[in-house]
Structure 1
């Protein structure tokens, strides 16, 4: 029997066999490594388009788990929460270089610390990729003070 074009071969990792568009909802959600970086507030220079990362996290971000406190209703609570879709992933230049969605969109593989590769949700934290324990909630900071909380995002060289 011939295998459907979207199906993975037995034993083949779905992220290697499918495009972002071909993934089912469970596969899509599994791509998230739980780093929490997309939940950090960013500042954009209007003239250059340069992005500055802050350690200020979304009001719904749980600093201990690096997950959203109300994921299913996040867009109702936080209207400017940017939904990740196959199309948006290809356009959001602020996604971290470590982001699995970005890596797959660019035709690259996941890193050793990604939970789908390592088999453990802890490796993203152990590798220093996540922001666990390093954020402050946006509720406590005035927008005009965000510049005081700028951090350096990881580069690809910082975790190999």
Structure 2
């Protein structure tokens, strides 16, 4: 009997196929929230304001293939870019794998379901507002996107 480890435990990020790389995204939508950077301190200020392309129900990009054309400052996450990015949420799989840490139980690759990230309360579902409606970003500063989420395990009756 072979005890095969999952790809994210045996391959570096730069060794993954495109499909493997893309599957690391847990669909939480936290990286699609706008961030501000303090001029003097360089501190990152998180907001609850989502990119206009983020579907606030599914927490996925509504036009992923064309996102960089429609939103020119959308960051394309690559293994090289990852080293320079300091605003990914602490629960981000790209960050966890890069640091040699395990994925959380609610991650779709672990749970087998894309819904567990929402059921656990980790995603932006119900917590974010579209940039089309938000107004000034300074009025939407929050701290939760930059904190390690405290997921809740759904009860069996929640899934019915």
The answer to whether the 8 A contact 1:40-1:58 is kept is yes
Distance 2:134 2:141 in 1: 13
Q: Partners of 1:76 and 1:34 in 2: how far apart?
A: 21
Q: CA deviation at 1:158?
A: 2.8
Runs of 4+ in 1 over 3 A off after TM superposition: none
**Cα distance in 1 between the residues matched to 2:93 and 2:76:** 15
Q: Distance in 2 between matches of 1:139 and 1:133?
A: 16
Q: Which runs of 5+ in 1 are unaligned?
A: 1-8
Aligned: 1:158 with 2:150:
yes
Residue number in structure 2 paired with 1:122: 115
CA contact (8 A) 1:90 1:102 kept: no
Partner of 1:62: 55
Stretches of structure 2 that go unaligned for 5 or more consecutive residues are 153-160
Instruction: Give the whole-Å Cα distance in 2 for the aligned partners of 1:104 and 1:46.
Output: 31
Q: Across the two proteins, how many residue pairs are aligned to each other?
A: 150
Contact kept in structure 1, 2:122 and 2:150, CA below 8 Å:
no
2:91, 2:149 within 8 Å by CA — same for their partners in 1?
no
Q: Secondary structure at the match of 2:110?
A: helix
What is the rounded CA distance, in whole Å, between the counterparts of 1:130 and 1:88 in structure 2? 23
Cα RMSD of the aligned pairs, angstroms, is 1.6
The whole-number CA distance in structure 1 between the counterparts of 2:96 and 2:83 is 10
73, 82, 93: which one aligns with 2:86: 93
Give 1:41 shift: 0.4
How does the TM-score come out when normalised to structure 2?
A: 0.88
CA distance in structure 2 between the aligned counterparts of 1:156 and 1:148, rounded to whole angstroms: 23
The offset of 1:157, in angstroms, is 6.5
Range moving further from structure 2, 20-29 or 132-141: 132-141
